[in-house]
Amino acid sequence: MPHPVYTLLMAALVAGATAMIGSYTGRERRAIALRALLNCLAAIVAGGWLMRWIHG
């Protein structure tokens, strides 16, 4: 499995697990999942940029 696909799968699983817990409405859960997914994507981009900056 290509690394980016695997990373996206893990991000989606983390977002889903974050939205799964707690007492929220369906709309709130969707918002939590979306926010978690975007946070993961931002962290991936930031980490990737950092690695590129370190290794050149």
Partner 1 sequence: MKRQPVKQRKVHAALLAAIGWLIPGGGYLLIGRKRQFALALALVLIAFAAGLALQGGLAWPQSAELEGLDGFTSLMAQAGALVKMIAGGPYLLARLSNYSQSFLGGHMHEYGTTLLVVAGLINLLALADAWERRQEQA
Sites of contact with partner 1 (CB under 8 A): 1, 6, 9-10, 13, 16-17, 19-26, 28-29
- Residue (21 or 56) nearer to partner 1, CB: 21
From residue 13, give the alpha-carbon distance in Å to each of 2, 7, 20, 35. Answer: 17, 10, 10, 13
User: What's the rounded Cα separation, in Å, for the pair 53 and 15?
Assistant: 28
- Residue (8 or 41) nearer to partner 1, CB: 8
- Residue (26 or 56) nearer to partner 1, CB: 26
Q: How far is the CB of 13 from partner 1 (least distance, A)?
A: 6
CA torsion through residues 49, 50, 53, 55, sign:
negative
